[in-house]
């Protein structure tokens, strides 16, 4: 076989990232005649595969995943040092293609295209073939951002996409950094500081009764409800898909309790519907408003809020513990 024939017979590789086995199987069935398919059932697994320097030509990416979501995977791809990774076409496969907020966020992070769920075989093949060229030509149509990004100095470059553990640690570091900043300000100004830790209750039961896509969107909806009830001065950090923290500057304990009561009240009046099933989702929370001194560290306040969160959860959830 000649070199040209060998090159033409090569099959490009598509990475499909979705925690739904049904979706991964559908993509594989539709595309496997023309492409090699690599599957990842989580955002963390997708980052691991990319870190292994696999010869991947295109990514089909779900947005709502339980560990590292698709937004973070997309951001990690675009921020990778390797041009073979940061230029990968990334097609978002979502059941919420018409959600303007979601679409705008994905586009800003560097999404190449969108495919709605459920998708047809014709639509999927057409979209993929637009970005993966025949093997005897350039492999892919690379992603080209609209603005020129300045390259970081050699020692500051990120050599690869981040793992799920690294992303969670970054979120926790962000929480500690912003929290410590507010704590220092409160100590200097002799103000109060309150911190709440939240966890969504019984997520496994929700997954069992509904499906993955509905669960992911529901968890995000809970976070947005908490965000809406937070005040402009508060700092809300989503540490994971089911847990987040709320830092409330210049807020004494009674006022912080009022904020939590507002959040719980809204959630108790929010109904979720899945087919004939109607239900609501609940939270457990722990609140800490310690006496502040120059020796208090933000990590200590978080630890206290975590202890109270665990107490609320172990007592049945749908409540917060403040003492």
The predicted-structure confidence for 119-137, as pLDDT tens digits, reads as follows: 888 989 999 998 887 665 5
Kindly report the number of other CB atoms within 10 A of residue 298's CB atom.
20
**pLDDT score of 280:** 92
Cis amide bond preceding 118, omega within 30: yes
Q: Give 156's DSSP letter.
A: G
- 13 touches 35 (CB < 8 A): yes
Which domains does the chain possess?
3-156 (3.40.50.2300), 164-321 (3.30.70.270)
135-186 pLDDT, tens digit per residue, is 655 555 655 554 333 333 444 444 455 666 777 788 899 899 999 999 999 9
Q: Is the torsion defined by CA of 75, 80, 85, 89 positive or negative?
A: positive
Whether the per-residue pLDDT at 304 is higher than 50: the answer is yes
**pLDDT band (50, 70, 90) for residue 8:** very low
**pLDDT score of 156:** 40
Question: Average per-residue pLDDT in the chain?
Answer: 84
Q: Give me the half-sphere count of Cα atoms (radius 13 Å) on the Cβ side of residue 95.
A: 13
Task: Reduce the DSSP state of residue 25 to 3 states and report it.
Answer: helix
182-209 average pLDDT score:
93
Whether the per-residue pLDDT at 39 is higher than 90: the answer is yes
257-275 pLDDT, tens digit per residue, is 999 999 999 999 999 998 8
Q: Worst-scoring range by mean pLDDT, 37-41, 89-93, 210-214, 238-242?
A: 210-214
Sheet of 13-17, strands arranged across: 36-40, 13-17, 58-61, 90-94, 113-116
Q: Residue 164, Cα to own-chain centre: how many angstroms?
A: 10
Pairwise CA distance, residues 264 & 260, whole Å: 6
Computed on alpha carbons and rounded to an integer, the radius of gyration of the chain in Å comes to 23
**pLDDT score of 112:** 92
- Please enumerate in sequence order all residues whose Cβ is within 8 A of that of 65, keeping only pairs 6 or more positions apart, or say none: 17, 18, 19, 42, 43, 216, 241
């Amino acid at each position: 076989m000649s070199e040209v024939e060998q090159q033409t017979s090569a099959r490009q590789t598509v990475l499909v990232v979705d925690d739904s086995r049904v979706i991964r199987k559908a993509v594989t069935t539709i595309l496997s005649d023309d492409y090699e398919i690599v599957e990842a059932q989580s955002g963390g697994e997708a980052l691991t595969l990319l870190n292994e320097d696999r010869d991947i030509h295109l990514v089909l990416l779900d947005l709502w995943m339980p560990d590292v979501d698709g937004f973070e995977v997309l951001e990690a791809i675009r921020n990778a040092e390797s041009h073979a990774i940061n230029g990968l076409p990334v097609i978002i496969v979502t059941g919420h293609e018409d959600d303007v907020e979601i679409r705008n966020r994905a586009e800003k992070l560097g999404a190449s295209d969108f495919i709605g769920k459920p998708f047809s075989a014709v639509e999927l093949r057409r979209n993929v073939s637009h970005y993966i060229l025949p093997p005897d030509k350039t492999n892919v149509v690379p992603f080209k951002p609209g603005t020129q990004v300045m390259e970081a100095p050699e020692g500051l470059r990120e050599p690869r996409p981040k793992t799920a553990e690294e992303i969670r640690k970054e979120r926790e570091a962000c929480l500690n950094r912003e929290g410590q900043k507010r704590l220092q300000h409160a100590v200097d100004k002799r103000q109060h500081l309150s911190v709440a830790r939240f966890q969504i209750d019984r997520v496994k039961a929700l997954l069992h009764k509904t499906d993955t896509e509905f669960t992911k969107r529901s968890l995000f909806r809970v976070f947005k409800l908490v965000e809406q009830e937070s005040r402009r001065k508060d700092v809300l950090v989503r540490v994971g898909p089911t847990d987040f923290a709320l830092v409330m500057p210049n807020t004494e304990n009674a006022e912080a309790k009022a904020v939590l009561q507002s959040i719980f009240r809204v959630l108790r009046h929010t109904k979720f519907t899945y087919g004939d099933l109607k239900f609501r989702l609940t939270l457990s929370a722990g609140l800490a408003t310690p006496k502040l001194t120059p020796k208090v560290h933000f990590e200590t306040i978080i630890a206290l809020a975590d202890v109270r969160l665990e107490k609320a959860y172990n007592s049945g959830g749908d409540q917060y513990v403040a003492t």
